[in-house]
Amino acid sequence: MSELVVTPPLIEVHDVEKVYDDGMIQALDGVDLTVAKGEFVAITGPSGCGKSTLLHLLAALDRPTAGTIRVDGYDLNHLRRNNLYRREEIGLVFQLHNLLPRLSVLGNVQIAMAGSHRPHAERPAYAKRLLDDVDLGDLAHRRPTQLSGGERQRVAIARALANDPPILLADEPTGSLDSASVEAVLGLFQQLRDERGVTIVLVTHDSVVAGVADRIIGMLDGKIAVSSDADAPGF
């Protein structure tokens, strides 16, 4: 009989705390979380519950006050090259797309490859391929100001994928979009999970957005209050 091979979680958060203002503000209080490779997880909860703080820690934009975080073999408590970690492991999508207005759409995607191992000669074609994947290939030479809000966010997703990261972290990526654009962006996330095996951690206050994930993590007062499959009763 063959042995069962257990795959370790891609993301492991253990007893993490984060405090600010000399301990006056506790943003995270003993958070434990594991995320499997290829899983789509939504973190939800009211404003100030700690969900964005947790996402920023996973992106190595900040460090925990206590506890441990390991992501794909990286110990985030002791990272020496945060930029290298983000370039190789993480794609970031925020509520505001933060595109560079003076660059074309193609240039905005291509610039994310700076410092990567991809040869310079291959970068324009790969950026165009990513734009094709988000159905914006025909708009590659437009400026961001010539796009709708939903189109800009899809460009931001293409940019986040420029270095083939195994993990996509998204902080309220649909918060400023109309309903049609929300549907398009969520469809992209599901496609990335299904076709590329990208692991997605999405922060949202919208229960409809959270409902497309495999699992919902509910946070309250800096703690995980509930964790359940998205189609479970109550979600």
For 134-153, what is the mean pLDDT? 93
- Of 51, 60, 70, 62, nearest to 10 by C-alpha is 70
Work out whether strand 167-171 and strand 11-20 pair parallel, antiparallel, or are unpaired: unpaired
CA distance 213 to 32: 19
Is the CB of residue 89 less than 8 Å from the CB of residue 71? yes
For 56-61, what is the mean pLDDT? 95
Across the strands, what pairs with 75? 70
Phi, psi dihedral angles at 77 (to 5 degrees): -70, -20
Evaluate if residue 2 carries a pLDDT over 80. no
CA distance 36 to 17: 22
Confidence at residue 5, expressed as pLDDT on a 0 to 100 scale: 56
Across the strands, what pairs with 199? 167
3-state secondary structure of 38: coil
Share of the chain above pLDDT 70, in %: 95
**Mean pLDDT, the chain, integer:** 90
CA distance 145 to 105: 10
3-state secondary structure of 66: strand
Domain spanning 11-98+165-229: which CATH class is it, in words? Answer: alpha beta
Phi, psi dihedral angles at 180 (to 5 degrees): -65, -40
CA distance 183 to 90: 23
Work out whether strand 66-71 and strand 11-20 pair parallel, antiparallel, or are unpaired: antiparallel
Q: The tokens of 19 are what?
A: 């405090």
pLDDT tens-place string over residues 183-215 = 888 998 999 999 999 999 999 989 889 999 999
Q: H or E stretch including 29?
A: strand 25-35
Is the CB of residue 54 less than 8 Å from the CB of residue 43? yes
Q: The tokens of 193 are what?
A: 């999970």
Strands, sheet with 40-44, edge to edge from the N-terminal-most edge strand: 90-94, 167-171, 199-204, 40-44, 215-220, 223-229
Confidence at residue 230, expressed as pLDDT on a 0 to 100 scale: 60
pTM of the model: 0.89
DSSP state letter for 213: S
Evaluate if residue 7 carries a pLDDT over 80. no
Q: Which amino acid is at 133?
A: D
Evaluate if residue 234 carries a pLDDT over 60. no
Confidence at residue 4, expressed as pLDDT on a 0 to 100 scale: 58
